[in-house]
Chains A and B, each alone.
Chain A
Amino acid sequence: GIQVEQSPPDLILQEGANSTLRCNFSDSVNNLQWFHQNPWGQLINLFYIPSGTKQNGRLSATTVATERYSLLYISSSQTTDSGVYFCAVSTSGSRLTFGEGTQLTVNP
């Protein structure tokens, strides 16, 4: 099956800093989503982005499908951004395969 690798596994920032999270995948995909898992365990859908670039406030994402990677940018980080960020992909409309996640901690 498809492999999904996320980096870095852990990231600690000071409030106000910017960061880039990376997701590499091993095959062509027709779906790629970024999720934020908050401290209560809820999965919040950030972006559906199988290709191209999208922005939503302080967050933006870029997927380069031909090179099989996606990047999630967080600018001016806030303590509420803390949590685990997951990348998930699927091929041919099949099951979503999740990466291991990036644990982000934003300190005040």
Chain B
Amino acid sequence: EPEVTQTPSHQVTQMGQEVILRCVPISNHLYFYWYRQILGQKVEFLVSFYNNEISEKSEIFDDQFSVERPDGSNFTLKIRSTKLEDSAMYFCASSPQRRTNYGYTFGSGTRLTVV
């Protein structure tokens, strides 16, 4: 079964540093997403991406965050100048179409710890 692959599985970074979280969506999927889950809380939407541009973003997704599909296979989330409160599990997801009949497929997540 096709998978969404995320790397690294765990990243520790110092406050103020930039991090890039990487995702390889399922190859024939067209819509890509990032979600975040702070420890002990529910999963929250960050951003959706289609046709090489952001299609929707939440209030959480401020200027500190950016997304990119640099090479047609990878989908990245960049967090500039990380803060302690950015510590969370970050999930990438993809879907074949906006009105999907199959649901969204999630990756295994990257656990980001900011110290």
Contacts and interface: CB of A to CB of B under 8 A. Distances in A.
Contacts of A40: 108
Contacts of B35: 96
Interface in B28-86: 33, 35, 37, 42-45, 48, 56, 58
A56 interface: no
B113 interface: no
A101 B56 contact: no
A3 to B, nearest CB: 12
A93 interface: yes
Interface in A42-92: 42-43, 45, 48, 86, 88, 92
B43 A88 contact: yes
Contacts of A96: 33, 35, 43, 45, 93, 104
A86 B89 contact: no
Contacts of B43: 43, 86, 88, 96, 98
B98 A93 contact: yes
Nearest to A94: B56
Given A93-B98, A93-B100, A45 B106 contact: yes
Contact of B106 (A35, A94, A97): A35
B25 interface: no
A98 B42 CA distance: 7
A41 B90 CA distance: 10
Interface of B: 33, 35, 37, 42-45, 48, 56, 58, 89, 91, 93, 97-106, 108-109, 111
> 10 closest Cβ contacts across the A-B interface?
A48-B103, A93-B98, A95-B45, A93-B99, A98-B43, A43-B106, A42-B108, A98-B42, A33-B103, A100-B42
24 contacts: A30-B99, A31-B100, A31-B103, A31-B104, A33-B104, A41-B89, A41-B108, A41-B109, A41-B111, A42-B108, A43-B106, A45-B104, A45-B105, A45-B106, A48-B102, A86-B42, A86-B43, A92-B99, A93-B98, A93-B99, A93-B100, A95-B33, A98-B42, A100-B42
